[in-house]
Amino acid sequence: METTRRTVIAAAAAAGLTAATVGTAHGATVRKPVKELFGKLADGTKVHRWSLQNGGTRLKVLSYGGIVQSLEIPDRHGRHRNVSLGFDTIEDYVASSPYFGALIGRYGNRIAKGRFTLDGKPYQLAVNDGENSLHGGDKGFDKRVWDVEGFTSGSDVGLVLHYTSVDGEMGYPGTLRVKVTYTLTRHGDWRVDYAATTDKATVVNLTSHVYWNLAGEGSGSIYDHELSIAGSRYTPVDSGLIPTGELARVAGSPFDFRRAKTVGEDIREGHQQLLYGQGFDHNWVLDKGSTAKPEHVAVLRDPSSGRTLRIATTEPGLQFYSGNFLDGTLVGTGGRVYRQGDALCLETQHFPDSPNHPSFPSTVLRPGQTYRTTTVHSFGA
Ligand code: BGC
């Protein structure tokens, strides 16, 4: 255990903390999250950045969008690197971010033509992706300033983020009160607990949009990362990336990640679905289905650094997006340009366009119910 303690203390020293304020892996004391001013929005609203660390993981989170601005984990030699794409300034996030590190809501992924009917009533949402609504519309939860509080609890350290979305925001019915908890455990796991309540029937599908590159942000392509996904089916899409409703088998297709393979292995196959997505941009139907407790669904591994990410979730779906629309126009935190395939997203979720597919697991939330989902990211090397 001495090694773990040394790692924790070394990590603390690097972050400017003293050993006295940090416990062992068995964690008597953990350092409270530290808050600083990150910048201001055009209207003067302050945006804060929270820094926290535990078990070798260092996390920086913005009150704007609940954005994970940086997530550092060690490689097989104990060397930390930020493995999440992001920007240095609030101006960059506001100007044009493809949801780097952000909390996504009210509805992660697409709703066809931004339309759905609930209890016989038609709703029209803000449309921001061709004719469709993506990630909650043009001002989704990724562009809202959240109320953030830091906490320590036993050997855990974390943040509680609150946002209230008013009735009719982006076209969605009901006042939605959202609480997201980010926890760093003593093992360095990053756990995300989502909760929401409403005062009118509505639809909800919350997720997190971290762009992973386990070799380090700005280090180049993730096509040599190995990925496995515990899903025997996926939801094929049309040219607008809206599910057709079919749950297609992955067997015999580039979508078969049941055994680990590199992201790049089949990405250039002339498969119609890869043409539509310009790579992988699809929802996997997780074999475990919706579960009360988070269950293991995916492993990502970078052979060069040895870093691994394991994902467990309560959700029935996983969007694997291979960073296809990164196009060399954005410069990230390390001063390097992000190009196609420089990161990938693994978004735990309900299926895209569920409000228009009664056969998909329901995303309806009614007054009196509490929406609850959990995703746990575990790191190793
Ligand atoms: C979607 C992509 C989209 C990206 C936004 C992903 O969740 O699946 O289609 O382009 O978010 O950057």
Whether 347 is catalytic: yes
From the CB of 353, is ligand 1 less than 6 Å away?
no
The reply to whether ligand 1 has any atom less than 6 angstroms from the CB of 240 is no
Which one is catalytic: 282, 347, 350, 357? 347
- Ligand 1 atom closest to residue 108's alpha carbon, by position in its atom list: 7
Pocket of ligand 1, candidates 321, 326, 327: which has the most ligand atoms within 8 Å of its Cβ, to mutate? 321
Q: What is the CATH number of domain 32-381?
A: 2.70.98.10
Tokens representing residue 256 in the block: 């078969």
> CB within 8 A of 34, min separation 6: which ones?
50, 51, 52, 150
Instruction: Show Cβ contacts of residue 106 under 8 Å, excluding neighbours closer than 6 positions.
Output: 136, 140, 141, 165, 169, 170, 172, 176, 202, 203, 204, 205, 206
Q: Is the CB of 26 under 6 A from ligand 1?
A: no
DSSP string for 146-212: PEEEEEEETTEEEEEEEEEEPTTGGG--S-EEEEEEEEE-TT--EEEEEEEEESS-EE-B-EEE--B
Please give the pLDDT value at position 165: 98
pLDDT of residue 27: 44
Block means of pLDDT (10 residues each) for the chain, 381 residues, are: 35 38 52 97 98 98 99 98 98 98 98 98 98 98 98 98 98 98 98 99 98 98 98 98 98 98 98 98 98 98 98 99 98 97 98 98 98 98 97
DSSP designation for 140: -
pLDDT for 16 equals: 38
319 lines ligand 1 (CB under 6 A): yes
Strands 156-165 and 176-184 come out as antiparallel
Give the closest residue (by CA) to ligand 1 atom 7.
109
Q: How far, in Å, is the centroid of ligand 1 from the Cα of 160? A: 26
209 given a catalytic annotation: yes
Can you give the residue ranges of every domain in the chain?
1-31, 32-381
β-pair type (190-198, 371-380): antiparallel
Which atom of ligand 1 is closest in space to residue 209's alpha carbon? 7
